């Protein structure tokens, strides 16, 4: 178990599970090198269905170099409607080629505008918007270019097969067929901001109801990876808390930050309520993302501590909480049903181990919220220690509006059938992951370098 890159440790990913040296290389050398296709489970009515009963137009978009949020904003602007009427199942990164479903309330197919880098196919109509739960998973085809040591891929893959419980020795070359591999089910770097990982800091401040600190964490708080002008503007915010001066300095591209500053200038920035209102100027999904990022950070810390203590991930120990398999999930993409959980007692341990071995159950850790009941035994000790370290408890997530969260649980390990091909110094990875799991978390084990490289 190796220590992770410093910027990964900032967001709670403290270790790699593979001890083998990495391959290095560059991710997203071009958008075509990172292809994502959603695996959906969403039924639609015909496109000519009655708009009274089916007001949401559903379409599949192939997006080239589009961030999902930016596409939704551009689409709503072109349509002249509120962005809140645009919905989707999963947020994708910008530098990629993605195929994903969207729904828009109250429009006709002929209303859909043309946008550069977007090819749209109308699927049908629906009685409700597409939601996160409608995504089963994603299929990936990803190229890592110009690897410094592509020959190390075989050893890394062997380690990941071991982590999956396959118990195989290191081979001299990559397998010809896909094999079962596993990694800790960390939340990836992009959950927290790929260039500037701060969304969890904003979220932690919100959960503590320190609204001013939340604004400063988002508008101020410069990061060395940002352009110099942006760093200077953010530093000015931290030093002066001069919101009008910030507006004069913040680049136009930082629209969300500028919106928050506008609100503070208008309201006077004299009370906690003024700072809360500034945060609430942001889109509702971004408000929710902040709290989700705080939960994700805590979850990552719990997984890192589990690794540090040498507890297994593919099977439970006494005190763990497991989720059983979702019987409605695709057969080749098993998903946990977080409504079907069981605490693992010593008496039931072997029985639950067998369920996990057969893919019928998954060891979990909490995404902490108001309804979270922590585990028992050593897993519970880990959960409580991490929460103590960040100064939170489940009841703190009883928050206003979009910030409230009851919490849930999430599998601690993610498995996949992985094919890896080498072409000179380039490597190509083909695999599928369940919703909420990150391709970059798998690839980081192979690359072991700066995630921005």
Active site amino acids: 93
Phi, psi of 184 (to 5 degrees): -60, 140
For 122, what's the count of Cα atoms within 13 Å in the CB-facing half-sphere? 17
Q: Which of 413, 419, 448, 409 is nearest to 434 (CA)?
A: 413
- Three-state secondary structure call for residue 278: helix
Contact criterion met (CB below 8 Å) for 212 and 276: no
In the block, residue with structure tokens 């982590």: 163
Strands, E, within 90-249: which ranges? 97-105, 118-126, 135-145, 179-184
Question: Token pair for residue 55?
Answer: 């007001």
Quick one: the chain helix, strand, coil %, rounded to 5? Answer: 35, 25, 40
Task: Tell me the sheet residues that pair with 416.
Answer: 181
CA-based max dimension of the chain:
66
Distance CA 263, CA 274 (A): 8
DSSP letter at 57 equals E
Phi, psi of 56 (to 5 degrees): -100, 120
Ordered DSSP codes for 364-412: EEEE--TT-----HHHHHHHHHHHHHHT--GGGG--SGGG----EEEES
Q: Which of 369, 222, 221 is nearest to 291 (CA)?
A: 369
Distance CA 246, CA 214 (A): 16
What's the length of the chain? 453
Q: Which of 148, 151, 157, 160 is nearest to 175 (CA)?
A: 157
Question: Token pair for residue 140?
Answer: 């990936």
Q: Which of 183, 413, 396, 204 is nearest to 296 (CA)?
A: 204
Distance CA 292, CA 113 (A): 32
Q: Which of 105, 39, 139 is nearest to 429 (CA)?
A: 139
Strands, E, within 185-235: which ranges? none
Q: What is the CB neighbour count within 10 angstroms for residue 78?
A: 13
Q: Which of 398, 411, 233 is nearest to 316 (CA)?
A: 411
């Amino acid at each position: 178990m190796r220590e992770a890159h410093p910027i990964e440790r900032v967001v709670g990913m403290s270790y790699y599970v593979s001890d083998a040296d990495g391959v290095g290389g560059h991710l997203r050398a071009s958008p075509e090198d990172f292809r994502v296709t959603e695996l959906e489970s969403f039924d639609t009515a015909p496109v000519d269905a009655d708009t009274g009963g089916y007001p949401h137009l559903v379409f599949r978009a192939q997006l080239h170099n589009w961030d999902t949020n930016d596409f939704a904003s551009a689409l709503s602007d072109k349509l002249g409607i509120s962005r809140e009427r645009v919905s989707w199942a999963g947020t994708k990164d910008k530098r990629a080629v993605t195929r994903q479903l969207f729904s828009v309330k109250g429009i006709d197919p002929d209303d859909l505008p043309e946008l550069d880098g977007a090819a749209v196919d109308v699927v049908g109509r629906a009685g409700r918007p597409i939601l996160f739960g409608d995504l089963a998973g994603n299929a990936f085809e990803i190229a890592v270019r110009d690897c410094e040591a592509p020959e190390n891929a075989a050893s890394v893959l062997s380690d990941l097969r071991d982590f999956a419980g396959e118990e195989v020795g290191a081979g001299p070359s990559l397998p010809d067929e896909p094999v079962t591999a596993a990694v800790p089910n960390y939340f990836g770097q992009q959950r927290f901001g790929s260039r500037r990982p701060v969304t969890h800091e904003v979220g932690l401040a919100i959960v503590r109801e320190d609204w001013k600190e939340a604004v400063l964490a988002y508008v101020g708080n410069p990061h060395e990876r940002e352009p110099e002008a942006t760093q200077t503007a953010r530093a000015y915010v931290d030093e002066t808390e001069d919101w009008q001066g910030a507006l004069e300095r913040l680049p136009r591209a930082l629209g969300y930050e500028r919106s928050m500053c506008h609100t503070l200038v208008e309201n006077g920035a004299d009370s906690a309520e003024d700072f809360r209102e500034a945060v609430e100027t942001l889109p509702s999904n971004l408000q929710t993302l902040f709290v989700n990022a705080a939960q994700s950070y805590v979850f990552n810390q719990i997984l890192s501590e589990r690794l540090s203590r040498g507890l297994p991930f593919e099977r439970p120990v006494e005190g763990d909480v497991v989720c059983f398999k979702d019987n409605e999930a695709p057969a080749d993409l098993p998903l946990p049903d977080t409504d079907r959980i069981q605490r693992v007692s010593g008496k039931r341990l072997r029985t639950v181990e067998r369920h996990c071995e057969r893919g019928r159950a998954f060891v979990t850790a909490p995404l902490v919220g108001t309804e979270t009941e922590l585990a028992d035994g050593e897993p519970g000790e880990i959960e409580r220690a991490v929460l103590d370290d960040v100064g939170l408890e489940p009841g703190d997530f009883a928050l206003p509006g979009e910030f409230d969260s009851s919490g849930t649980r999430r599998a601690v390990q993610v498995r996949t059938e992985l094919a890896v091909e080498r072409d000179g110094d380039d490597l190509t990875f083909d695999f599928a992951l369940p919703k909420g799991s990150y391709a970059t978390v798998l690839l980081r084990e192979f690359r072991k370098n700066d995630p921005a490289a």
